[in-house]
Structure 1
Amino acid sequence: MTKKYAIIDTGGKQLRVEPGRFYDIHPFTSMGLNFLKPNTKISLCRVLLICEGSNINLGHPWIRNAIVRGRVLHPCFDKKKIIAKIDSKHKTRKELGYRQNLIRFIVDSIWSNGKELVS
């Protein structure tokens, strides 16, 4: 059994995706969190690599006619990051917390040259 996967560029990060799995990504800049409701279909065109068994299709920088299609499951948050500021001369401490907005989406299919990669 061979695995089929793609590497995409989203939110300034590279992510290895497989059909049927869900991933957490940063919201798109063109769309706000209010627009991305559950079951909203999304298509990602910035595909860097497609692996289908022993065949590897590498883009320069992206593969033409390659699309990763999926749908939004729900908006979510990242783990809380604690920022601590300590000033020893004034004996003050301050802790701030920050949680990044994320979108959880599931990959439905990977398309290359108009054909869907079937696993």
Structure 2
Amino acid sequence: MKYAIIEASGRQIWVEIGKFYDLNYIAGEPGDRINLNRILLLNQEGKINIGNPCLQSINVQAKILKHLQDKKVTVFKVKPKKNNKSKQGHRQKLTRLLIEKIITKI
């Protein structure tokens, strides 16, 4: 099994070929291909490469499937004894990526 741990959108994500993942919004049109180059770990059938902090010779090629929005988060603030209440909602923009291949340049 071939997988990689990448750093994207401020998170570390375990990615495998053929699966899709939702990350923070990435500018681009659906159908565009992007390269993710912050690879922290790569496992190729039991052979593990660990970066310090990143592996320079490895890229992950992904395709933008679509842009979507996350579930709504409601923020409700109350200040007691002041009769002050505020309610606010937020939906984070996301991009769905399909991992196509993991490219090693060794």
- TM class by shorter chain equals over 0.9
Shift of 1:92: 3.0
- The residue aligned with 1:9 is 7
CA–CA distance in structure 1, aligned partners of residues 44 and 20 of structure 2 = 19
**How far has the Cα of 1:59 moved from its partner?**
0.5
- 1:85 matches 2:83: no
1:38 and 2:36 are equivalent in the alignment:
no
Q: RMSD of the alignment, in Å?
A: 1.2
Higher strand fraction (1 or 2): 2
Cα deviation for residue 93 of structure 1 reads 2.2
Report the equivalent of 2:52.
60
TM-score by length of 1: 0.83
Taking the aligned partners of 1:42 and 1:20, their CA distance within structure 2 comes to 15
SS at match of 1:37: coil
Distance in 2, Cα, partners of 1:70 & 1:11: 14
Identity of aligned residues (%): 34
Distance 2:46 2:96 in 1: 30
Q: Normalized against structure 2, the TM-score is what?
A: 0.93
Stretches of structure 2 lacking an aligned partner (at least 5 in a row): none
Write out per-residue CA displacement over residues 41-85 of structure 1, whole angstroms, 9 at most, x where no aligned residue: 110011110011211100001101100001000001111111111
